[in-house]
Structure 1
């Protein structure tokens, strides 16, 4: 019988498993530095060799990746049947890609915008590090605290 107070095991993933998981989803959160603060944007992406590519319009994301400031992208998933989740974080540099014929025929073909508007810029993230974890999702009841069980001192 498992120890009810035990902390679930977290599996540290190797680079190959991180790439395999990234290939299985297409939505991540891009973290960039904008002027004097961090900002996060959802982006749909595709894996191209050992890089990630996303498309965007002119604006904050494109301006943020134009400089030398590193960025991060996080993607995750969960298997509802098994309760096993994973999270992968990729850190690196990004640069706009010139959309050549070969690029448009292969990579760009699978990247279509989720929102209306011009998204005619392609950005490639070249990672310097990629890390990931896999873990069991704790049952939601473990997060709940009934008011009957809570300390009443704060309420009186």
Structure 2
């Protein structure tokens, strides 16, 4: 039996946001020149933005040089797996109103360090895919492309 047709399921935007809402840890991908970095960050969803906290350092510096980011969250069980990708722009929250609102989101660092800076990622595109986990198809014979 060929299950290749239903091996990858595209998620709707609403399904992507639901999965983002249900999780707290993702990967922030930044790029400055030829340097691409991946940072694990805990986050919260605020409307259709992602918010995380960070200390002064390379992550915050890189976001001021190039605000275009990719953010990825995924998970799996014994029966399925999924991945959601957010492409957007990141900016440090600076006004008192922005910071007060971010403080109300209940976002706390996972590691015991001071992280005074809130960063918001405004999503430009959100895409996701789900993958039912099944046995690998037979390796012999003609495979579809």
1:19 maps to 2:10: no
After superposition, the C-alpha distances for 1:86-126 in whole angstroms (9 at most, x for unaligned) are 1000001000013546415422xx21111222211000000
Contact 2:87 2:123 in 1 (8 A): yes
Residue 138 (structure 1) shift: 4.0
Q: Deviations over 1:1-52 (max 9, x none)?
A: xx1x543521101111100000000000110013531010100000000100
Preserved contact between residue 34 and residue 60 of structure 1 (Cα < 8 Å): no
Query: What root-mean-square deviation, in Å, do the aligned CA atoms of Structure 1 and Structure 2 show?
Result: 2.0
2:143 matched residue in structure 1: none
**Length, aligned pairs only:** 134
Q: Which runs of 5+ in 2 are unaligned?
A: 137-145
| Residue 148 (structure 1) aligns with | none
Question: What residue is the counterpart of 1:72 in the other structure?
Answer: 70
Alignment correspondent of 2:110 = 114
Distance in 1 between residues matched to 2:67 and 2:101, nearest whole Å: 25
The equivalent of 2:36 in structure 1 is 38
Distance 1:103 1:35 in 2: 33
Runs of 4+ in 1 over 6 A off after TM superposition: none
- C-alpha displacement of 1:85: 1.2
- Shift in Å, 1:129: 0.6
Give 1:97's match in structure 2, choosing from 93, 97, 103: 93
- 1:29 paired residue among 27, 30, 37: 27
Q: Does 1:48 align with 2:46?
A: yes
Helix, strand or coil at the partner of 2:65 = coil
Partner of 1:57: 55
> What TM-score, normalized to structure 1?
0.77
CA distance in 1 between partners of 2:68 and 2:133 (Å): 31
- State whether residues 33 and 39 of structure 1, in contact with CA within 8 Å, keep that contact through their aligned partners in structure 2: yes
How far apart, in 2, do the equivalents of 1:126 and 1:20 lie? 16
Q: Who wins on radius of gyration, i.e. which is larger? A: 1
